[in-house]
Structure 1
Amino acid sequence: MMYRLLLAVVGLANLPYIRTCCSPDVLQGNAMYYGYMVEEKESYQNMVKFYYDADKKKIATITTNMGNRTGQVRDIYDFAARKRYVITDNSSCNVTKLKRSFEKICVPSSAKFMGSADLGNSEAKMSVDMYRLKVKKGKMSGEADIMVTPMDGGKCTLVGVVMSGGKDGEIQMAETSVYMNFTFEISDKSVFQPPKQCYRNNESESLLFEVLGGIRREIYIF
């Protein structure tokens, strides 16, 4: 989202080497978002199920708001068809054009490797690599601290992100996200299939609630 998950690494300027890693081509998992919207003075907590298939060039997320708001939103990104579908409460559907090409889940070269650490205690710990990234696109800007877990074969998966961003140099949102329960196959491919109501609507250029969501998509996908 948007459409790069920052899972590759570049060493600090003083280091003579470069670390890189990318997500497996097929995966699904869960995430929790904890955030705050400055202008609205409102905090939120969202539970997200995400699905990623680089072979088919498709991404899907199912977001459930755990706070005061109710409802569920399913996003389907079909890069081959260059369409995005946003289905709210399994009823209304908004279809927009995808103007960006599909990119695999890898971090751009501007991300800096900040070091490694072990999470947990001495008996049950997980090694993580940490990176820092700044993003600027038009009036939108943001920065993020990212943790990933290295895997065999130069792969890695996202563990957590702490990020903030907004428009015109002002901080409009801050968010901490935690990623978990990864599996490297998608048993239910119907998550990528838009419901029939999506084919009755005309396409629009953008969605109103996308203004702040653009920052998240420039930093990581889900």
Structure 2
Amino acid sequence: MAAFASLLFAGLSVSLIPGTVPQCCPPLQFQTYLDTLVSLSSLNDKRFKTMMYSYDAKSRRTATHVVTESKEDEYDRIDDYAANKSYEWAKGVCYVSATGPYNQTCIPARAKLVRQSFMGVSPNTIKVDTYMFMVGSLTRLLTVGPKCTPVEYVQATSEIPQPDGQYMWIFYNTTMGIKDASIFTPPKICFKTGTRVEKRPDALPHLTPF
């Protein structure tokens, strides 16, 4: 967990400005790493994962490579919204399902800008903005950098006892564009009888940075 803690940026809050959010959508193409801590305050389950995430709104595709504390739990996933197909594979088996409709991931209009701060060490700093919005009883806090690039995402609640559905994502080593489009090509096992398993359209969760 020391590596995870080292990624938490130290910023200086310079203002507190409640207000409506302008249109804020991430870059159309980017690749990033993110560390995730699931069930942030829950006693039931605390899991740490590292992911490599590729996002391409132009072709309506995303790709995720998940690394966990145990190699047994690692997996890969491609969501191809243009083809309405999701592929998730691990241990020589590929699960295929429908993605459903594509919606570009943007900060919702109901979100409020609650903090402006910076990260890094002067003079090498960048400005970041934190937005807040509610989903049921859960509070979502999303911090973004220049061009609405995701930096940190927290979903939590003050309810007692603490429910599941809480998590923290820390984004880092983000680069613009897609270096190699083949990252969106499923492996052969996803098309081969015996290693391909058809799943219900709602069987697999969808990762979205917002």
Native 8 Å contact 1:60 1:77 kept in 2: yes
* Match in the other structure for 2:198: 203
SS at match of 1:190: helix
Query: How big is the shift at 1:49?
Result: 0.3
State the distance in 2 between where 1:184 and 1:72 align.
Answer: 25
* Match in the other structure for 1:94: 95
Which of 14, 23, 26 is equivalent to 1:23? 26
Q: CA separation of 1:106/1:70 partners in 2, compared to 1, >3 Å: closer, same or farther? A: same
Native 8 Å contact 1:84 1:96 kept in 2: yes
* Match in the other structure for 1:6: none
Native 8 Å contact 1:164 1:171 kept in 2: no
Query: How big is the shift at 1:207?
Result: 6.5
Number of residue pairs the alignment of both structures matches:
188
* Match in the other structure for 1:127: 127
User: Runs ≥4 in structure 1, deviation > 4 angstroms?
Assistant: 37-40
Native 8 Å contact 2:150 2:209 kept in 1: no
SS at match of 1:70: helix
SS at match of 1:19: coil
CA-based RMSD = 2.7
Q: Which runs of 5+ in 1 are unaligned?
A: 1-10
Q: CA separation of 1:69/1:41 partners in 2, compared to 1, >3 Å: closer, same or farther? A: farther
Q: CA separation of 1:206/1:40 partners in 2, compared to 1, >3 Å: closer, same or farther? A: farther
State the distance in 2 between where 1:39 and 1:113 align.
Answer: 27
Query: How big is the shift at 1:133?
Result: 1.8
Q: Which runs of 5+ in 2 are unaligned?
A: 1-16
TM-score by length of 1: 0.73
Query: How big is the shift at 1:179?
Result: 0.3
Alignment of 1:82 onto 2:74: no
SS at match of 2:145: strand
Native 8 Å contact 1:97 1:203 kept in 2: no
Q: CA separation of 1:144/1:46 partners in 2, compared to 1, >3 Å: closer, same or farther? A: same
Query: How big is the shift at 1:97?
Result: 1.2
SS at match of 2:135: strand
Structure with more of its chain in strand, by fraction:
1
Of stretches 46-55 and 193-202 in structure 1, the one that deviates more from structure 2 is: 193-202
Q: CA separation of 1:206/1:170 partners in 2, compared to 1, >3 Å: closer, same or farther? A: farther
